[in-house]
Each structure stands twice: as structure tokens, then as C-alpha cells.
Copies of this chain bind each other. A is one copy, B any other.
Amino acid sequence: MAAATLHRYLGKGRKLVDGIEKVTGRARYAGDVHLPGLLHGKLALSMYAHARIANIDTSAARAVPGVVAVLTAADLPTRGRQPASRQTTTLADGVVRYRGEPVALVLATSLAAAEDGLAVLQIDYEPLPGPVTPEAALDPAAPVIWPQGAPKGDADLTAAHAAVARGDDQADHEASNIHEHKQFSRGDALAALAAAEVVIEGTYRTSIVHQGYLEPHAVVADIDPVRKQLTLYTSTQGQFGVRDEVARLLGLRPSQVTVIPMTVGGGFGAKYGILEPLAAAAALAVGRPVRITLDRSEDFLTTTPSPASTITLKLGATRTGTLTALVAEIVNDNGVYPFTLGGIMSTLLGGYYRCPNVQIDVIEVLTHKPQAGAYRAPGAPQITFAIESAMDELARKLDLDPLELRLRNAATTGDPMGNNDPWPSMGLTKVLEAAANHPLWRERQPGSGIGLAIGGWPCGMSPAAAVCRVDTDGMVRVHVGSVDISGVNSSFVLVAAEILGVPPEQVEIVAGDTRSGPFAGPSGGSQITYSVAGAVAAAAREARRQLLEMAADMLEARVDDLDIREGMVQIRGVPGRTIPIGEVAKRAEEQAGGPGPIVGDGKAAPAENAPGFVAHIVQVEVDRETGRVKPLRYVAIQDVGFPINPLMVEGQIHGGAAQGVGWGLYEALRYDERGELLTASLMDYTLPRAADLPTFEAVLVENPAPNGPFGARGVGEPPITAGAAAIANAIRDATGVRIYELPMRDEVVWRALQQV
């Protein structure tokens, strides 16, 4: 925390700028938008995982008072166009391929009327066979889901989360339920494994996990029927991407679509655009504004959860604990459309530790389930569960301290990642050293139920711009194009405050839409603070320069002699002569022949990314009677580079760690053999509640990122990565039993205990 003392505001915790709005219900979400003539949309969702749509009889639905239209695929301008990213939904055309796929849209003047219309909408299906699990899909006898080849999107969502190169395509490109097979390798892993002094082997299974945001998907599409101008009010992590996809699917120019990002009630990777093209197409079809909001069950049924992964992992090492080989096969259950996480999963799996011989095969499988999508650090909890469980077992086999084993092999800056690119500046060793010094680890007793795991994430790095304006009342307004899903605005205010020398209350962040906003990348990949804060800083510096130039004239002083403190320009060493920045701004807005109003732009385009690494230590208590695992203490150590607003950083760490506990102990979307979702409500889908969670202690390690603003690194994704593995290792420590399957619910643990 040494760096904080250099700063007046940076590095000191400060509450959320929009916390009061949110807790008092004043924040405006997409579902709160009301427009004249608004129609409420209710989706008819497929009842089958695979079926032909034999007939849709809309007459009864259309006869319901208030129902204005019942739309099917044939009514939409999107018909015949493929989404660029298969995250986006329109309406099924002839065939449904997962339970929950939207088939028709009832539009009515009230939600109640739309629901009444939906209740009498008659859709006849002819069920068809098809695999709903990867095992079934990989059976050579299984029907091929996409005989003509799966519809592939242009967009690689992984790229939004982590700028990493992708491996070599191993697929044979014949029609198959494998949409991609890639191999990542270096050295000769099979030979090295065969020659290894010690080998650890295991198959790890993870479940389909939902992002579990508080606010289900919601969008309002407004249409100017004359000029075909669309305005979308939506809950999104990235307005620019949504705009481009909606325009493409509707055959409009991007400039005909304006996306206004509303307050987001949680995204976690799932809000890059799902319903927007459908709402937009419906508005275009009927010429009126359309609102679609999903209820919780609809959201579970039709959105984009994480893929489930099966990871077979073999590690080879010397007797002294040096890794020599890593061989892995990853099978991802991606649901009905291609979704590719192999690149990032391999990059991490083959990159956490130095190992000269690596071979990772990733087999991406299609099934009759909803399409998989991004969920905070996509792919990382899965591979981290595998590698960190295996490392724990390796340490036990070698009778080494598991932390010591990790330190010996930990990758560091310049070492190859799984894709063989070198790691940029990273701090795995530093977080391990901090873990070694933490009392929970240092003073642990064998068998006390304490486990350790590391994890990491490369972090994205989109270029970004910001505009900083000083107002006549002294308010500093910073205009950005990013969406605040995680408290980033509450960090930006400190950046501008620090540079301009004004109290943070005098700074306001103004979020732009696709028409007004300066560009920023989407709020994913832990990148917003990393990339946008640099632009905010640059814009604030330019505004400061303009302020001082104008103030020098007003105070008859040299620019170099001036400073700004508490919002007042002052001459260094001359205490009496001060002038509020609002007055300087006023002069600038009034002076004929002067430099003009105080407004400056700033950009940032970091040249490399800034991986964030964590070491999580968790202590659990296991009830041997029931198998119930109770997490007691949780220490989340993270290399954050520099915590611009430590309160926000700690919030990210708490939230990520809580979700990691969810991955580890509770959460799973379960489907039956026909592809019916068995966990379509919060009663069945076990999101952890506060009482299910341990106390989290966040420990911030400051290992500055060379390209980060003030040394900051991305912090959003790393904290979700290690939890499941740390808990598995803690259970192993407490019980002697290794669990290979997530979530580690009572029954799973109990069964494993029975086998000892």
C-alpha cells in the first residue's frame, strides 16, 4: 500500500458513486423505460430440445384483448440472416434445437395481455431425436445436429476477454457434432510423460453454471418507422458490439442503430447482447416500441450459461518436484451453437506453470442444449479446478508443501503461456509468497481442512477514449464510452480527482451511448479500469493544462508556479492567491478571443495486457455424516498492480470469490435425458446465499503493470478462478478424499467419503 501515500485520493477506498441510486430504487434499468405506444413482448419458448415446428396457430392469441401481434420467424426482417455471434437470439424457423429456444413473440399493450395471449398460443411440434449430452453427441451413431455444418459466427468472444492467440485446428471438417478440435503443444509431451519419474492423472468434470445476475435480460427497442432509426435501451456490457450486431442482423447501417446502455444489474459475461436483435426486429415489424424482459425461469431456459467441461489431465514431474510434462484433453459441452473457449483454456492450463512439454487437445462439442456463453473468466474455473487439484495431488505424492511445489514451478514474466506466447509482466510468484506469509497458511495444521489454489487471467486491453470537461460550478465531468458493471466509475472519479486536484465529489462520470460516447471496449475481460482509466487520466491532464493556462492569465503568474488543491488553483508558496476552478472555467466560457471552454480529450491503448494472478486459501469443515462442506475462512490474495479504489477492488474480489464458492459447492444447471431443464428457478438452481458463504479476506499485492494506469491491472476475473480448486484441496486436507466433480454438493462428497 506504499503507493497510496504518494497520492491524495488514489489508492484510498471510496464508496460507489451510484450506490444510493441503486439501494433506493432510483437507478433506471432497461425494464423501467416507458415509451408512448410501448408494446410488451412475451416469448413462446420451445418445449422440446429438438423438434419440427409443425404449425403455429396465432388466431386465439391474437383475439385476446390488448394483443397487437403474434410474430414468428417469417414476420421478422432478420429471417435468413445468421447472427455473427450465436449469443444473439431471434426466432426459430421451422426447427427448434433446444428447450427454451424462442419460437414466437406475443406483443400486447400490457404484460398481462401478452401473458394471456401466450397462454392460448397454439404451437404444434413434432419431436425429433438428438443428443443432449457430449457423450451422446460424440457417439458415432448419434444424429449430427447440423448436417450442413454448424452456423459459425465471426465474433470470437474469447478475444473480448483475453487477447491470446489460438491453436492449430485439428478438426477433419466433416459434418460432426464436434465443431472444433484444436491442439496446443510444445516439446514432446507424450514422451516426457512416459519418461516422468512421477505421474499424476485424473479426469475432472465441471457443470453448466449460470451467471446468476440479479437482473434478468431486459431490452426496449424504439423505432422511427420513417427513417428506420432504432434506439435500444438495454442492459448490456458493451453497447458498440450490440449496435453492430443488431445492424448486421437487421440489414441496417450501424449508424441507424443507437444503443443506450442502462444501469446493469449484473452481467458477468452474459450481457453482450442476446435479446436485442429480436426486440429490434419486432419493433421494426410492427412500427412501435417493444419491451422484452425475461423472468427468472425464462432467463435460465434461454440465455447463455458457461459450458460444462470434462478435463483429463496428466502431469509428469521429477522426484524433486519439477514439472516435465502436461498432457490434457478438454471436452466442452457448448450446447447448440459453436462457442470456442479452447484458446484461453489451453493458454491458462499450459501457462500457469513452467513446463517444457505440453500437449492440450480441446474438443468442442455441440448438444441440444442452450448455447454456451461467457461467464467471468470463461474457461478458467474449469481448467483451474483441474490443474490445481492435480498440483495438490502431486505435492502429496512428492511429500512436498503444495505451496512450495507451486513456487518452484510458477511461471513468471516471459515464460510461455499455453499458446507459447510469452507472459507479459505477471505476479504469480508474488501472490504465492504472500500466501506463504499469511497466518492461515503459515500456521495451518495438517488435516485442518485448509486448501490452496492459484489462478490467473490475462486481462483485455481495448483502446479507449475519454473527454474531460470542467463546468462553471467547478464540477469535472468525464465522458466515457464504457459501461459500469463493477464500480469502475467509482475508480475513474479518483483518477480525475487526483490529476486535477479536486475532491472526488466534484467529479462525475458521464456514460455515453453509441452516438454520444467516446469509444471504449466492452466491460469484460477485466479491461475497463486497465484501458479506460488511462484515457480518463489523459483527458484530465489535458483539462488541467487548459485550466492552468487560463488561471496563469487570471492570477498573473507562470503556469509552472501553479498547482490545484481542493478545486482551487493556487500559486505555490503564495497562500492567499487562489481561484476556484469553476471560475476559471467560467472565464474560459466567456472570454472573447480566449482559448475557449475547458474540454480535453484523452486516449489510451495499452501496448500489452496485464495478467492478474491470485492465490486463494480456504478452510472448510466437512460433515462426514452428510457430506456437507462448510467453508469457514477464505483468504483471497491477488496481484492487483495498484488498487485505484481499494474498496472497488475488494468488492470485485469478494464477488468473484463468492462466485468461485458457487462453482465449487453449489451451482449447476441440470438437464434430463430429453434436454428438459430441471433447475429452472432459484428454488432449484442453488445460488449461494450470504449464510452459505465464508468470511472473505482480500489481500492486495501491488506488482505494478508497466502499461497500466498508475500500475493498475485488471481485477474482475481473477478472483473467480481458484475457489473451486481451493475448496477441493481443502476437502482433501480435511478428509483425505479427492473430489473430481463440480459442484461438490453433499451427495457427491458423501459418496466419495463412502469409497475411502
A515 partner residues in chain B, CB cutoff 8 A: 477, 508, 510
Q: Quick check: B253 and A473 within 8 Å, CB to CB?
A: yes
A24 partner residues in chain B, CB cutoff 8 A: 226
- A238 smallest CB distance to B (angstroms): 12
Known: A510-B516, A592-B606. A601 touches B467 (CB 8 A): yes
A549 interface hit (Cβ, 8 Å): no
A32 partner residues in chain B, CB cutoff 8 A: 36
With CB as the reference atom, state the residue of chain B lying closest to A25: B226
Q: Quick check: B603 and A462 within 8 Å, CB to CB?
A: no
With CB as the reference atom, state the residue of chain B lying closest to A244: B472
Q: Quick check: B605 and A463 within 8 Å, CB to CB?
A: no
Q: Quick check: B608 and A603 within 8 Å, CB to CB?
A: no
A519 interface hit (Cβ, 8 Å): yes
A589 interface hit (Cβ, 8 Å): yes
Report the copy number of this chain in the oligomer: 2
Q: Quick check: B463 and A26 within 8 Å, CB to CB?
A: no
A604 partner residues in chain B, CB cutoff 8 A: 596
A512 partner residues in chain B, CB cutoff 8 A: 516
Instruction: Tell me the bound Cα distance from A605 to B546 in angstroms.
Output: 14
Instruction: Tell me the bound Cα distance from A596 to B461 in angstroms.
Output: 11
- A74 smallest CB distance to B (angstroms): 28
A465 interface hit (Cβ, 8 Å): yes
A600 interface hit (Cβ, 8 Å): yes
- Beta-carbon contacts of A13-36 to B below 8 Å, as 1s and 0s? 000000011001010000010111
A377 interface hit (Cβ, 8 Å): no
- A99 smallest CB distance to B (angstroms): 35
A612 interface hit (Cβ, 8 Å): no
Q: Quick check: B254 and A519 within 8 Å, CB to CB?
A: no
A175 interface hit (Cβ, 8 Å): no
A169 interface hit (Cβ, 8 Å): no
Q: Determine the main DSSP class of A at the interface with B.
A: loop
Q: Quick check: A589 and B473 within 8 Å, CB to CB?
A: no
- Beta-carbon contacts of A393-432 to B below 8 Å, as 1s and 0s? 0000000000000000000000000000000000000000
A464 interface hit (Cβ, 8 Å): yes
Within 8 A of B (CB), among A153-186: 163
A255 interface hit (Cβ, 8 Å): yes
Name the one of B469, B475, B510 contacting A519, with C-beta atoms under 8 angstroms.
B469
Instruction: Tell me the bound Cα distance from A603 to B24 in angstroms.
Output: 40
Instruction: Tell me the bound Cα distance from A607 to B593 in angstroms.
Output: 4
A464 partner residues in chain B, CB cutoff 8 A: 596-597
With CB as the reference atom, state the residue of chain B lying closest to A511: B516
A596 partner residues in chain B, CB cutoff 8 A: 463-465, 535, 603-605
- Beta-carbon contacts of A452-468 to B below 8 Å, as 1s and 0s? 00000000011111010
Q: Quick check: A601 and B603 within 8 Å, CB to CB?
A: no
A600 partner residues in chain B, CB cutoff 8 A: 601
Instruction: Tell me the bound Cα distance from A471 to B592 in angstroms.
Output: 32
With CB as the reference atom, state the residue of chain B lying closest to A590: B463
With CB as the reference atom, state the residue of chain B lying closest to A26: B224
Known: A34-B36, A605-B591. A518 touches B163 (CB 8 A): no
- A469 smallest CB distance to B (angstroms): 6
A275 interface hit (Cβ, 8 Å): no
A595 interface hit (Cβ, 8 Å): yes
Instruction: Tell me the bound Cα distance from A477 to B479 in angstroms.
Output: 15
A521 partner residues in chain B, CB cutoff 8 A: 589
A163 partner residues in chain B, CB cutoff 8 A: 592
With CB as the reference atom, state the residue of chain B lying closest to A594: B605
Known: A599-B519, A605-B593. A588 touches B463 (CB 8 A): yes
A227 interface hit (Cβ, 8 Å): yes
- A34 smallest CB distance to B (angstroms): 6
A607 partner residues in chain B, CB cutoff 8 A: 592-593
Known: A254-B473, A593-B607, A594-B605. A21 touches B516 (CB 8 A): no
Most chain B beta-carbon neighbours within 10 Å: one of A227, A595, A597, A601 = A597
Instruction: Tell me the bound Cα distance from A595 to B519 in angstroms.
Output: 13
Instruction: Tell me the bound Cα distance from A479 to B32 in angstroms.
Output: 27
Known: A34-B36, A510-B515. A472 touches B605 (CB 8 A): no
A601 partner residues in chain B, CB cutoff 8 A: 467, 599-601
Q: Quick check: B592 and A465 within 8 Å, CB to CB?
A: no
Q: Quick check: A599 and B467 within 8 Å, CB to CB?
A: yes
Instruction: Tell me the bound Cα distance from A606 to B591 in angstroms.
Output: 9
With CB as the reference atom, state the residue of chain B lying closest to A35: B34
Within 8 A of B (CB), among A217-237: 224, 226-227
A591 partner residues in chain B, CB cutoff 8 A: 463, 605
Q: Quick check: A20 and B254 within 8 Å, CB to CB?
A: no
Within 8 A of B (CB), among A550-588: 588
With CB as the reference atom, state the residue of chain B lying closest to A520: B597
With CB as the reference atom, state the residue of chain B lying closest to A253: B473
Instruction: Tell me the bound Cα distance from A479 to B465 in angstroms.
Output: 14
With CB as the reference atom, state the residue of chain B lying closest to A707: B593
Within 8 A of B (CB), among A236-256: 240, 244, 247, 253-255
- A719 smallest CB distance to B (angstroms): 25
Q: Quick check: B535 and A463 within 8 Å, CB to CB?
A: no
Instruction: Tell me the bound Cα distance from A461 to B36 in angstroms.
Output: 39
A36 partner residues in chain B, CB cutoff 8 A: 32, 34
Instruction: Tell me the bound Cα distance from A34 to B608 in angstroms.
Output: 47
A254 partner residues in chain B, CB cutoff 8 A: 471-473, 475
Name the one of B247, B471, B508, B590 contacting A462, with C-beta atoms under 8 angstroms.
B590
Of the A-B pairs whose beta carbons lie under 8 Å apart in the complex, a sample of 10, sorted by A's number, is A20-B227, A26-B226, A255-B471, A463-B589, A463-B594, A465-B597, A469-B518, A469-B519, A477-B515, A516-B516
> Knowing that A465-B597, A519-B589 are A-B contacts, what are 8 other residue pairs whose CB atoms are under 8 Å apart, sorted by A's residue number?
A21-B224, A254-B473, A255-B475, A465-B469, A469-B518, A477-B515, A508-B515, A601-B601
Q: Which A residues are within 8 Å of any B CB, using their own CB?
A: 20-21, 24, 26, 32, 34-36, 163, 224, 226-227, 240, 244, 247, 253-255, 461-465, 467, 469, 471-473, 475, 477, 479, 508, 510, 512, 515-516, 518-519, 521, 535, 588-597, 599-601, 603-608
Closest 6 A/B residue pairs (Cβ) = A596-B603, A593-B607, A519-B597, A465-B597, A254-B473, A255-B475
